Amino acid sequence: MEVNAWVEKITNGMVKNLLPNGSVNACTRVILANALYFRGIWAENFDKSKTMDNKFHLLDGSVVQAPFMTSRKKQYISSYKGFKVLKLPYSKDQENRSFSLLVFLPNKINGFQNLIEMALADPTFFDRHVPREKSGVGNFMIPKFKISSGFEASRVLKSLGLELPFSEQADFTEMLADSSSKLCVSSVYHKVSIEVEEEGTTAAAATGVLMMKCCYIPPVDFVADHPFMFAIREDETGALLFLGHVANPMVETSM
């Protein structure tokens, strides 16, 4: 399929088969697709020789062994009620833009759900919880992880209140050369792939929308050995490029 081939090319092969077999049929009239590819190199790389396995605590109480990166250098870390935030800056890109990975770590192993709910309930959450100063670190460990995820997002969007584009009242006439066609959104497919390791982060995402008729401070410990939330953020505008969570760094694919 032409759309899938385009997405795979734009994302450097990280996102494949965005639109599954059968998603495009005789009723499909328009496909809107976008893709994003991000390759960030840490401003300060992690030493691969210091990466070692350690315990990561899962939500069900079990434990897995995962490779953890570490460093003795000062880090951007802030502590808040119930959680800590780590900012890992990337080197500036060719256009002199700066991006950072934000890691939101609940203090309690089982505090992940409360943190998610807190973030989703406050539109200013991410802007208000960005570390501004470096701190000396005590015990500092971040797991390497690679995640690929894909899903059909119509139900989620509708549950958030986005009903109109899926209904007969939808109006996309200004987007179409043939304004006589009455269209509504039938499906929204989203896929993302992200890898965090010693040199930096590689991430890609794509979305396809089908229409049919009808993102002196004392030393601080930051040990991400239990589920956490992360975001890749453009520093100046605050725009979120990627937003996700790690429940098990040893599970690469979650569908």
Return the CATH superfamily for domain 2-214+218-249. Answer: Alpha-1-antitrypsin, domain 1 (2.30.39.10)
Q: Domain limits of the chain?
A: 2-214+218-249
DSSP 101: E
Euclidean distance between CA atoms 231 and 130, whole angstroms: 11
Task: Kindly state the average pLDDT of the residues 35-44.
Answer: 83
Distance of CA 205 to the CA centre of its chain: 9
Task: Kindly state the average pLDDT of the residues 27-33.
Answer: 75
Residues with Cβ within 8 Å of residue 1, at least 6 apart in sequence: 19, 24
What confidence category does residue 255 fall into, taking pLDDT thresholds of 50, 70 and 90? very low
Euclidean distance between CA atoms 47 and 132, whole angstroms: 24
Question: 92-103 pLDDT, tens per residue?
Answer: 877 888 999 999
- What pTM did the predictor assign? 0.77
Question: 114-169 pLDDT, tens per residue?
Answer: 999 999 889 899 999 999 999 899 999 999 988 777 777 788 778 778 888 878 77
- Are 240 and 232 in contact by the 8 Å Cβ rule? The answer is yes
- Are 203 and 241 in contact by the 8 Å Cβ rule? The answer is yes
